[in-house]
Chains A and B, each alone.
Chain A
Amino acid sequence: EDQVTQSPEALRLQEGESSSLNCSYTVSGLRGLFWYRQDPGKGPEFLFTLYSAGEEKEKERLKATLTKKESFLHITAPKPEDSATYLCAVGGATNKLIFGTGTLLAVQP
Chain B
Amino acid sequence: ETGVTQSPTHLIKTRGQQVTLRCSSQSGHNTVSWYQQALGQGPQFIFQYYREEENGRGNFPPRFSGLQFPNYSSELNVNALELDDSALYLCASKSGSSLGDEQFFGPGTRLTVL
Residue from A49, A87, A100 within 8 A of B102 (CB atoms): A49
Chain A residue numbers with a CB within 8 Å of B40 are 101
Query: Which residues of B, 36-86, contact A by the 8 Å Cβ criterion?
Result: 40-45, 48, 55-58
Nearest B residue to A102, CB-CB: B42
Once bound together, how far apart are the Cα atoms of A95 and B45, in whole Å? Answer: 10
Chain A residue with the shortest CB-CB distance to B100? A32
Instruction: Report chain A residues within 8 Å CB of B108.
Output: 41-43
Name the interface size band of chain B: 20 to 34
B87 at the interface (CB under 8 A from A): no
Query: Contact between B42 and A91 (Cβ–Cβ < 8 Å)?
Result: no
Does B32 have its Cβ within 8 Å of any Cβ on chain A? Answer: no
Assess whether A25 is interfacial by the CB under 8 Å rule: no
Interface string of A75-109 (1 = CB under 8 A from B): 00000000000010101100111111110000000
Interface size class of A (residues with CB under 8 A): 20 to 34
For window 17-45 of A, CB contacts with B under 8 Å fall at 31-32, 36, 41-45
For A4, the closest partner residue in chain B by CB is: B42
Chain B neighbourhood of A101, CB < 8 A: 40-42
Task: Determine whether B107 belongs to the interface, using a CB cutoff of 8 Å to chain A.
Answer: yes
In whole angstroms, how far apart are the Cα atoms of A105 and B25 in the complex?
29
The answer on a CB contact under 8 Å between B58 and A96 is yes
Check if B21 is an interface residue, CB within 8 A of chain A: no
Least Cβ–Cβ distance between A29 and chain B, in angstroms: 10
A47 to B17, CA, bound (A): 37
Are B4 and A43 interface neighbours, CB within 8 A? yes
Task: Identify which of B42, B57, B99, B104 contacts A46 (C-beta below 8 A).
Answer: B104
Q: List 15 A-B contacts (CB under 8 A).
A: A42-B108, A43-B92, A43-B106, A44-B90, A89-B42, A89-B43, A91-B100, A95-B99, A96-B56, A97-B43, A98-B45, A99-B42, A99-B43, A99-B44, A100-B42
List A residues at the B interface (Cβ < 8 Å).
4, 31-32, 36, 41-46, 49, 51, 87, 89, 91-92, 95-102
Q: Lowest 5 CB-CB distances: which A-B pairs, in order?
A: A99-B42, A43-B105, A91-B99, A32-B100, A96-B45
